[in-house]
């Protein structure tokens, strides 16, 4: 159960030592990621390792000032990619059926599954990781910086490196809420969330010496009670995704 | 590197022994999954373990006759879930901003990341897994069978059990194609795909005693050269996803 325990103790790392990652290690980690399951063998993932310091600085800034994008041992942008397979389809005499929402779902889930398999590999080696959803603050700029063709979109970034901090594990909703049997039965969910709110309040208070008094419910109000990245649909459609 | 090697040798398992999985083991695996990173702590994943044999039979059939959905030690439907957090947002005085494409992306990637973390946990215990994208053949029926509310959609199924087969590892595209540096540079991609086609032809011929002569390029022509699940956009919009 050693590895299960490791996965259960995941936390994001946002501060890294200067110790470099060898290319061999990076290749092993990315290979482990891309060996994960892929829908119909599409392999709808392209990983772009960003080495150029200016590009990393630009991405750190557009992601909302996440400086660890610049300082992590390695930084990657994980892309959902239908471009490669569409080209192959056409070279083989087919006509790519562009814009299917289903194709976007398979490429996006392929990409997330591969990334998390790479993350599991990295964490098993003692590395720390942080996903960077903030790249979707300005996906058009990321597309320009990385010269992404149509049918490719940047799903998230990923920082990888040797941890230089040891943050607490953030509690999760109880399984009684998130794991259901046979049907979406909401009995007990409200009570489960109330318990979780109490736990999260304690977590934040402890972590900030009493300064931060927050609950999950309040966080969800902030997160979902307003528009979020309203440019995404237009951006994705413009890249050729999910137009039908 | 033991665990990295395990991830690199992933293959889907479609035949399982009768040996049951304990609830304790299932809970550990799902907990390890749900401990993975989640965007803004949304936890946009609900896992439904399907025990009812009739429901499993119905899902096996709509997924295209995938009988292992019925016979695996455990079968789960992994759902992207904004319903729970939207309810919480509204109970906390907010007004849920429904239909954002961005929210669908975070819930879908949360779900895929959690599932793959559970898969890594399961495989580290010697279990075999098979994702079932085929549930999207008829997402409306799955929604009805599992009584999913609006703002929840079934992303994929997952079979879990003790392997009763030992299939070969399917080769992946070379890293020279899938891992790029600084920009989406396609130099060498066509040659890399040609190498991979040769490798996949060999894989299929060997696996079928010379009967199956296929390449990845031909597979991509079949997969992308036609519409795929054209109901998905309408279904998702109807469930409240990605209308803007």
- The proportion of chain B whose per-residue pLDDT surpasses 70, expressed as a percent, equals 100
* Contact present, A98 and A240 (Cβ < 8 Å): yes
- Is residue A221 included in any domain, yes or no? no
For chain B, the domain total comes to 2
Beta bridge partners of B79: B46, B154
Closest residue in A to B186 (Cα–Cα): A84
- Does one domain contain both A51 and A28? yes
* Contact present, B79 and B157 (Cβ < 8 Å): no
Residue B67's Cβ-count burial label (10 Å; 0-12, 13-18, 19+) is: middle
Closest residue in B to A34 (Cα–Cα): B172
Distance from CA of B154 to the nearest CA of A (A): 11
Helices A83-91, B216-224: axis angle to 10 degrees equals 100
Q: Residue A204 belongs to what domain range?
A: 175-213
Q: What is the pLDDT of residue A95?
A: 97
Closest residue in A to B13 (Cα–Cα): A37
Q: Does A217 sit within 8 Å of B92, measured CB to CB?
A: yes
Tens digit of pLDDT for each residue in B201-215? Answer: 999 999 999 999 999
Distance from CA of A234 to the nearest CA of B (A): 9
- Does one domain contain both A69 and A44? yes
- Is residue A222 included in any domain, yes or no? no
Q: What is the mean pLDDT of residues B33-45?
A: 98
Instruction: Choose among A4, A115, A242: nearest Cβ to B121.
Output: A4
Which chain B residues are within 8 Å of A172, Cβ to Cβ? 31, 34-35, 43
Mean residue pLDDT across chain B: 97
Tens digit of pLDDT for each residue in A186-221? Answer: 999 999 999 999 999 999 999 999 999 999 999 999
- Does one domain contain both A94 and A181? no
Q: Does B32 sit within 8 Å of A4, measured CB to CB?
A: yes
Q: How many CB pairs under 8 A join A and B?
A: 359
Q: What is the pLDDT of residue A37?
A: 98
- Is residue B219 included in any domain, yes or no? no
To which residue do tokens 């392997």 refer?
B163
Q: Does A4 sit within 8 Å of B179, measured CB to CB?
A: no
CATH number at residue B69: 3.40.109.10
- Does one domain contain both B159 and B197? no
Give, in degrees to the nearest 5, the angle at Cα B145 between B50 and B234.
120
Q: What is the pLDDT of residue B1?
A: 79
Q: Does A34 sit within 8 Å of B175, measured CB to CB?
A: yes
Q: Does A131 sit within 8 Å of B94, measured CB to CB?
A: no
Specify the pTM. 0.98
Distance from CA of B16 to the nearest CA of A (A): 18
- Does one domain contain both A143 and A194? no
- Is residue B100 included in any domain, yes or no? yes
- Does one domain contain both B99 and B149? yes
- Does one domain contain both A89 and A185? no
For A139, the token pair is 């996906």
- Does one domain contain both B148 and B207? no
Tell me how far the alpha carbon of residue A234 is from its chain's centroid: 21
Give the helix/strand (H/E) hosting A180.
Answer: strand A179-181
Residue A63's Cβ-count burial label (10 Å; 0-12, 13-18, 19+) is: buried
- Is residue A218 included in any domain, yes or no? no
* Contact present, A135 and A59 (Cβ < 8 Å): yes
Q: What is the pLDDT of residue A38?
A: 98
Residue A98's Cβ-count burial label (10 Å; 0-12, 13-18, 19+) is: middle
Pick from B11, B79, B88 the residue to mutate for testing the A interface (most A CBs within 10 Å). Answer: B88
What strands, in cross-sheet order, belong to the sheet with A45-49?
A128-132, A152-161, A74-81, A45-49, B179-181
- Does one domain contain both B34 and B97? yes
To which residue do tokens 């994943």 refer?
B45
Residue B19's Cβ-count burial label (10 Å; 0-12, 13-18, 19+) is: exposed
Residue A62's Cβ-count burial label (10 Å; 0-12, 13-18, 19+) is: buried
- Is residue B220 included in any domain, yes or no? no
Q: What is the mean pLDDT of residues B160-183?
A: 97
* Contact present, A122 and A114 (Cβ < 8 Å): no
Q: Does A180 sit within 8 Å of B223, measured CB to CB?
A: no
Beta bridge partners of B45: B80
Q: What is the mean pLDDT of residues B110-134?
A: 98
Instruction: Choose among A8, A102, A180: nearest Cβ to B48.
Output: A180
- Does one domain contain both A164 and A201? no
Tens digit of pLDDT for each residue in B47-76? Answer: 999 999 999 999 999 999 999 999 999 999
Which residue ranges of chain A lie beneath pLDDT 70? none
- Is residue A151 included in any domain, yes or no? yes
Tens digit of pLDDT for each residue in B71-99? Answer: 999 999 999 999 999 999 999 999 999 99
Q: What separation, in Å, do the N-terminal and C-terminal C-alpha atoms of chain B show?
A: 44
- Does one domain contain both B113 and B153? yes
Q: What is the pLDDT of residue A125?
A: 97
- Is residue A146 included in any domain, yes or no? yes
Q: What is the pLDDT of residue A1?
A: 79
- Does one domain contain both B52 and B108? yes
């Amino acid at each position: 159960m050693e590895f299960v325990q490791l996965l259960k103790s995941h936390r994001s790392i946002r501060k890294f030592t200067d110790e470099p990652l060898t290319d061999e290690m990076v290749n092993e980690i990315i290979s482990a990621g891309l060996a994960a399951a892929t829908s119909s063998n599409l392999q709808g993932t392209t990983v772009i390792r960003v080495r150029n310091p200016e590009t990393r600085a630009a991405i750190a800034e557009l992601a909302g000032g996440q400086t660890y994008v610049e300082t992590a041992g390695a930084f990657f942008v994980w892309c959902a990619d239908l471009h490669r397979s569409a080209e192959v389809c056409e070279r083989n005499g087919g006509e790519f059926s562009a814009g299917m929402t289903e194709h976007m779902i398979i490429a996006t889930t392929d990409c997330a599954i591969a990334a998390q398999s790479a993350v599991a590999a990295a964490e098993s080696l003692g590395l720390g990781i942080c996903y960077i959803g903030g790249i979707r603050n300005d996906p058009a700029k990321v597309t320009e910086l990385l010269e992404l063709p149509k049918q490719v979109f940047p799903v998230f970034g990923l920082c990888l490196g040797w941890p230089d901090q040891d943050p607490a594990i953030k509690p999760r909703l109880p399984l009684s809420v998130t794991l259901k049997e046979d049907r979406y039965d909401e009995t007990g969910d409200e009570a489960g969330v109330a318990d979780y709110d109490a736990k999260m309040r304690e977590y934040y208070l402890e972590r900030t010496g009493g300064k931060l008094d927050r609950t999950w419910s309040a966080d969800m109000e902030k997160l979902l009670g307003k528009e979020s990245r309203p440019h995404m649909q237009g951006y994705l459609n413009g890249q050729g995704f999910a137009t039908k």
